[in-house]
Amino acid sequence: MPLTFAPVKGATIERYDPGEQASDLQPGDFILTQGSDIFGRLIRLGQALRLRGADHKYTYWNHVALIVDEQGSLIEALGEGVRETNISRYTPAEYHLVRLGTTADENDRAEAVRFARQTVGDNYGWLTIVCIGLRLLTGGKLAFEVDGQFICSGLVARAMERTQAIFNRDTEDIMPADLAKYYQVEPPPPGTPKGKALPPAVAQFGFQL
**Model pLDDT, residue 209:** 34
Contacts 24+ apart (CB under 8 A), 152-155: 152/63, 152/64, 152/65, 152/76, 152/77, 152/78, 152/176, 153/64, 153/178, 153/179, 154/77, 154/125, 154/128, 155/66, 155/75, 155/76, 155/77, 155/82, 155/116, 155/119
pLDDT on residue 47: 78
pLDDT recorded at residue 66: 98
Amino acid 195: pLDDT: 94
In this prediction, residue 146 carries a pLDDT of: 56
pLDDT top residue among 206 and 149: 149
pLDDT at 202 over 60: no
- In terms of average pLDDT, the best of 43-47, 50-54, 90-94 is 90-94
Q: What is the pLDDT of residues 57-108, one digit of tens each?
A: 999 999 999 999 999 999 999 989 999 999 999 999 999 999 999 999 999 9
Contacts for 191 with CB less than 8 Å, ≥ 6 apart: none
Residue 196 has pLDDT above 90, yes or no: yes
Rounded CA separation 63/152 (Å): 6
Q: Which residue has the higher pLDDT, 37 or 167?
A: 167
Q: In angstroms, how far is CA 169 from the centroid of its own chain? A: 16
Q: Across all residues in the chain, what is the average pLDDT?
A: 85
Sequence length of the chain is: 209
CB 97 within 8 A of CB 22: yes
**0.75 cut: is pTM over it?**
yes
76 within 8 A of 83, measured Cβ to Cβ: yes
Alpha helices in 55-172 (DSSP H): 106-119, 126-138, 152-160
The predicted-structure confidence for 4-22, as pLDDT tens digits, reads as follows 656 677 899 999 999 999 9
All residues at 6 or more sequence positions from 135 whose CB lies less than 8 Å from its CB, including other chains: 141, 142, 143, 173
Domain 3-182 falls in which CATH fold? endopeptidase fold (from Nostoc punctiforme) (3.90.1720)
Domain boundaries, the chain: 3-182
**Phi, psi of 42, deg, nearest 5:** -65, -40
pLDDT of residue 45: 78
Percentage above 90 pLDDT, the chain: 61
What is the DSSP-derived secondary structure letter of residue 93?
A: B
* Measured distance CA(47)–CA(70) in Å, rounded: 31
> Given pLDDT bands bounded at 50, 70 and 90, which one contains residue 41?
confident
Residues 27-59, buried b or exposed e (16+ Cβ, 10 A)?
Answer: bbbbbbbbbeeeebeebbebbeebbeeeeeebb
pLDDT at site 33: 96
**184 — pLDDT class (breaks 50, 70, 90):** very high
What's the pLDDT at 133? Answer: 60
